[in-house]
Chains A and B, each alone.
Chain A
Amino acid sequence: GESVGLHLPTLSVQEGDNSIINCAYSNSASDYFIWYKQESGKGPQFIIDIRSNMDKRQGQRVTVLLNKTVKHLSLQIAATQPGDSAVYFCAESGGSNYKLTFGKGTLLTVNP
């Protein structure tokens, strides 16, 4: 069935480096994508979103890139900090106006 998945389950980076977390999706009807961050023991927290009419969107230290041709999106975190250590999920609307489907998640570990 339609799903959202991740290429890398874990990612370890050095503090100050840039991080790139990838996500593949299979639902061609998806037109809206969101990245969430989940810290240990907490619920997921919204980071940034992007709609299919855009290729790139930037936030504070984060950038999301969308490649509709290959159904791939990525989250780039600049100057990664220890506080960025968490599980990162991509989610997509699947063409629905009301609900999100989440990917499995990538664990980002930032080494000091």
Chain B
Amino acid sequence: DAGVIQSPRHEVTEMGQEVTLRCKPISGHDYLFWYRQTMMRGLELLIYFNNNVPIDDSGMPEDRFSAKMPNASFSTLKIQPSEPRDSAVYFCASSPLGAGVTGELFFGEGSRLTVL
């Protein structure tokens, strides 16, 4: 398996533009997580899905952020409109079981977003 695949790896956009980040989890993994990483706040959980259903989105900063998982092999994180404070590295991770059962999340290489 190729692991968790994220795209794009780098995105530079201007304030107010829509940004869509994509993730392909490892086949057979029932859990998918979106994390955001910044120097100031570290790794923050934004939302996670179980069997394509959003379970906990309490970490989503505000209504400008939305995430979907239309099928078991694809998820998107959308920011509309984007703001400079959204600049961060966004990670997608998947796991075959809940993180309390196994703490081994498989992370993608991240999407580095810069909003000018």
Contacts and interface: CB of A to CB of B under 8 A. Distances in A.
Interface residues of A, number: 24
A46 B96 CA distance: 14
A25 interface: no
Contact of B33 (A32, A41, A95, A99): A99
A93 B33 CA distance: 14
A98 B42 contact: no
A104 B42 contact: yes
Given A99-B33, A104-B42, A44 B48 contact: no
Nearest to B100: A97
A100 interface: yes
Contact of A46 (B4, B50, B105): B105
A45 B56 contact: no
A47 B34 CA distance: 20
Sorting the interface of chain B by its residue count into under 10, 10 to 19, 20 to 34 or 35 or more gives 20 to 34
A35 to B, nearest CB: 9
B43 interface: yes
Secondary structure class of chain A's binding surface, majority of residues = loop
Contact of B48 (A41, A42, A99, A105): A99
Given A34-B103, A43-B109, A43-B110, A89 B43 contact: yes
A60 B91 CA distance: 27
A93 B43 CA distance: 14
21 contacts: A33-B103, A34-B103, A34-B104, A43-B4, A44-B91, A49-B103, A89-B42, A91-B103, A95-B100, A96-B99, A96-B100, A97-B99, A97-B100, A98-B48, A98-B50, A98-B99, A99-B48, A99-B98, A99-B99, A99-B100, A105-B42
Interface of A: 32-34, 41-46, 49, 89, 91, 93, 95-105
